[in-house]
């Protein structure tokens, strides 16, 4: 399964399903909702308030594609079990600054059709109480307040539902009339092998890139996410908010992206620094996968980002759900808010060249994510 680690953009692939045999309850484990921010879809409550019931806690953020891929299952469990002793609570722990804005999160919760309670964990206080490190992460607490099950990342949905059902039965709830989860053959994807074929997540901010650069130089780890050497040479003091004229090297390594034109480096993003007449400034990368998502933002006003593959507009069969076409057949996305845009959706895993460009000053990229599963359900 895939999950996103808090360790500055490291995407890991692990098969993890951890059971906790702790004999202590919530109070002894000090598992609490620490200073939760505004609540969405309900009134605030504590874990102690839910003694006698089963609580499934989901750490997520609305631009994390790994989190979004788990949503159909969470919504299904809420629909089936919410009146039979299960409370699901989404702990929204942001990765980017714009994900801390309550209005943005409320809109995302509404657009995604989430009906269970969600609260904002903007300072990651609840995240730290649980010693959490991943998006998404699920923690199942039984009717006695004991942490019984943990799962990090995507997958193992049948195992998670089995644990939910087991502890609902132990709590005395009758779920005999509720069918168990059955694995759809379309969902039985060998994600570990797919991961070998797809590009890693790529981050645009200085926080991630300078850490990756340091680890690459000192420990021979993977190179930074941005492939332009001038990104690092011109900032010996690791200054964010520095504007640099970048040059496309013309040769692209996978697992990095490249910059051309005038751009401003920010701690969590890369921002186009000038208004242009044409698409002279751009971002380009060679990727492997069947899906590409881009977290794009800073939309003070609506603007367009042109999307091409192999230097030509996308075909309709290649276009992600957020891609539009103009009368000339050019493919683009309209940036109406800071969010994740699904821009490429291929029928199979391929290696292609993707380019994003905009004439708009302020076009900001936060990250790219990639997929290899052609059966993703979250955006349907």
Quote the pLDDT of residue 238.
Answer: 56
> pLDDT per residue over 292-342, tens digit each?
999 999 767 899 999 999 999 999 999 999 999 999 999 999 998 899 999
pLDDT range class, residue 30, cuts 50, 70, 90? low
> In this structure, what DSSP letter does residue 180 have?
P
If one looks up domain 199-371 in CATH, what number appears?
2.60.120.260
Q: Say how far apart CA 267 and CA 288 lie, in whole Å.
A: 27
In 3D space, the residue among 370, 368, 356, 354 whose CA is nearest the CA of residue 290 turns out to be 370
Cα-to-chain-centroid distance, residue 9: 11
> pLDDT per residue over 186-235, tens digit each?
444 444 444 557 899 999 999 999 999 999 999 999 999 999 999 987 54
Quote the pLDDT of residue 16.
Answer: 36
Query: Hey, where are the domains in the chain?
Result: 2-183, 199-371
User: What pTM, to 2 d.p., does this model score?
Assistant: 0.85
Q: Say how far apart CA 106 and CA 291 lie, in whole Å.
A: 26
Within the chain, where are the H helices?
26-29, 65-81, 102-111, 125-129, 157-170, 191-197, 206-219, 230-233
Summarize the chain as % helix, strand, coil (round to 5): 25, 30, 45
In 3D space, the residue among 293, 308, 289, 294 whose CA is nearest the CA of residue 348 turns out to be 289
Evaluate whether 2-183 and 199-371 have a shared fold.
no
pLDDT range class, residue 21, cuts 50, 70, 90? very low
CA dihedral 358, 363, 365, 370 (to 10 degrees): -40
> pLDDT per residue over 37-65, tens digit each?
899 998 999 999 999 999 999 999 999 99
**How high does pLDDT run on average in the chain?**
87
Pick the CATH number of 2-183 from 3.30.450.20, 3.40.30.10, 3.90.950.10, 3.30.365.10: 3.40.30.10
Quote the pLDDT of residue 6.
Answer: 53
Identify the burial level of 88 via C-beta atoms within 10 angstroms of its C-beta, where 0-12 means exposed, 13-18 middle and 19 or more buried: buried
């Amino acid at each position: 399964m895939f999950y996103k680690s808090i360790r500055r953009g490291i995407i890991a692939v692990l098969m993890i399903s951890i059971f906790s045999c702790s004999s202590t309850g919530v109070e002894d484990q000090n598992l609490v909702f620490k200073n939760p921010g505004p609540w969405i879809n309900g009134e605030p409550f504590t874990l102690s308030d839910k003694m006698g019931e089963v609580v499934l806690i989901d750490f997520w953020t609305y631009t994390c594609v790994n989190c979004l891929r788990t949503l159909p299952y969470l919504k299904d469990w809420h629909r089936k079990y919410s009146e039979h002793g299960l409370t699901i609570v989404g702990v929204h722990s942001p990765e980017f600054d714009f994900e801390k804005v309550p209005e943005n999160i409320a809109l995302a919760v509404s657009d995604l059709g989430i009906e269970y309670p969600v609260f904002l964990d903007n300072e990651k206080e609840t995240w730290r109480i649980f010693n959490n490190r991943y998006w998404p992460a699920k923690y199942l607490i039984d009717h006695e307040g004991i942490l019984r099950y943990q799962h990090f990342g995507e997958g193992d949905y049948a195992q998670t539902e089995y644990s939910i059902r087991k502890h609902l039965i132990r709590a005395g709830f009758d779920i005999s009339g509720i069918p168990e989860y059955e694995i759809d053959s379309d969902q039985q994807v060998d994600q570990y092998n797919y991961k070998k074929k797809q590009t890693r997540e790529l981050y645009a901010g200085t926080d991630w890139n300078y850490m990756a650069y340091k680890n690459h130089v000192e420990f021979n780890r993977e190179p930074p996410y941005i492939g332009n050497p001038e990104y690092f040479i011109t900032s010996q003091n690791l200054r964010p908010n520095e504007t640099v004229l970048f040059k496309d090297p013309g040769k692209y390594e996978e697992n990095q992206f490249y910059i051309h034109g005038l751009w401003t480096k920010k701690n969590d993003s890369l921002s186009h620094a000038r208004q242009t007449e044409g698409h002279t400034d751009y971002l380009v990368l060679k990727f492997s996968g069947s899906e590409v998502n881009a977290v794009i933002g800073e939309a003070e006003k609506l603007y367009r980002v042109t999307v091409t593959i192999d230097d030509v507009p996308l075909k309709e069969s290649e276009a992600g759900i957020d891609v539009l076409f103009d009368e000339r057949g050019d493919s683009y996305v309209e940036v109406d808010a800071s969010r994740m845009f699904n821009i490429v959706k291929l029928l199979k895993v391929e290696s292609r060249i993707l380019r994003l460009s905009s004439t708009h000053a302020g076009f900001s990229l936060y990250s790219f994510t990639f997929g290899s599963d052609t059966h993703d359900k979250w955006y349907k």
